[in-house]
């Protein structure tokens, strides 16, 4: 009986050892997936947040080659509208972009702009063309005022003619930061400036509006060395209170 028990124990040990040394035959994620999300009206990249999850522009992937009901994966999009990931598995993906623009997939009316993409062969580029909820454009150059504040001018207009996505404009802000990463989620709060005029009239009429930084002035650098600041204007509507449409980022040197 003792010999039988020892034999069974040895067999179990061998099985356990073999299961622990099972070879993984699946290739690692060695593919690159990249692209740009652009404004269908201007061809320019959609400006957005950075590092803010669902509150920023992102790419949604559904790996359809292995499952009929896959779990969604997401790739973050840089604030300049580009994205890249160098560690993607070879597979077939259904892809859409999500952000401060008309949804690419809608139920009523039925809209489906999903792209089915075979990621294989090294680098795959997938671009998306979308209609932003709002479109922002700089007018002229930033002005440093005598009191140390900064003023800018912009135009904010509708980015889509689709009435379903022309909700009221709720906020327009001038964001300031000491690094090139600047927006609603990354800024110097004391220096931000809010537009307090009639938002919807300004947007409807395409009026040039002026925004000025807040009570926090823009000090020069230590020992009178010039200091760099980065600015951009963001606006959002009641359709999507989490996401802003933006201008591109501008650098301002305060002497």
CB 186 within 8 A of CB 50: yes
pLDDT of 28: 80
pLDDT above 90: residue 10: no
pLDDT band at 11 (very low <50, low <70, confident <90, very high): low
pLDDT of 94: 96
Give 33's strand partners. 85, 124
Give 235's strand partners. 172, 245
Token pair recorded at residue 234 = 């963001």
Token pair recorded at residue 43 = 């061809």
Name the burial class of residue 158, with classes exposed (0-12), middle (13-18) and buried (19+) by CB atoms within 10 angstroms of its CB: buried
> How many C-beta atoms surround the C-beta of residue 38 within 10 A?
19
Q: Provide the whole-model pTM.
A: 0.85
Tell me the C-alpha to C-alpha distance, in Å, between residue 219 and each of 152, 171, 180, 193: 17, 27, 17, 16
pLDDT digit string (tens) for 153-174? 999 999 999 999 999 999 999 9
Domains of the chain and any CATH numbers: 31-130 (2.60.40.1120), 134-254 (2.60.40.2060)
Give 137's strand partners. 155
């Amino acid at each position: 009986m003792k010999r039988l028990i020892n034999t069974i124990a040895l067999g179990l040990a061998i099985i356990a050892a073999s299961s622990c040394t099972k070879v993984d035959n699946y290739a690692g994620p060695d593919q690159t997936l990249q692209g740009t999300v652009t404004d269908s009206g201007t061809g320019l990249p959609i400006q957005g947040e950075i590092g803010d999850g669902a509150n920023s522009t992102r790419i949604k992937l559904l790996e359809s080659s292995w499952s009929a009901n896959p779990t969604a994966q997401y790739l973050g999009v840089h604030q300049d509208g580009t994205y890249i990931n160098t560690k993607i598995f070879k597979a077939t993906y259904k892809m859409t972009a999500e952000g401060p623009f008309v949804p690419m997939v809608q139920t009523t009316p039925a809209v489906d702009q999903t792209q089915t993409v075979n990621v294989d062969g090294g680098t795959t580029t997938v671009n998306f063309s979308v209609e932003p909820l709002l479109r922002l454009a700089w007018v002229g150059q930033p002005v440093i005022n005598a009191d140390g504040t900064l003023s800018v001018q912009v135009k904010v207009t509708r980015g889509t003619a689709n009435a379903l996505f022309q909700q009221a404009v709720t906020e327009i802000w001038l964001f300031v930061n000491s690094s090139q990463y600047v927006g609603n989620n990354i800024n110097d709060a004391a220096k931000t400036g809010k537009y307090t005029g009639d938002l919807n009239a300004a947007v409807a009429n395409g009026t040039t509006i002026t925004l000025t930084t807040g009570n926090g002035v823009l000090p020069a650098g230590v020992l009178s060395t010039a200091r760099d600041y980065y600015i951009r204007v963001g606006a959002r509507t009641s359709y999507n209170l989490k996401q802003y449409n933006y201008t591109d980022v501008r650098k301002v040197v305060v002497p």
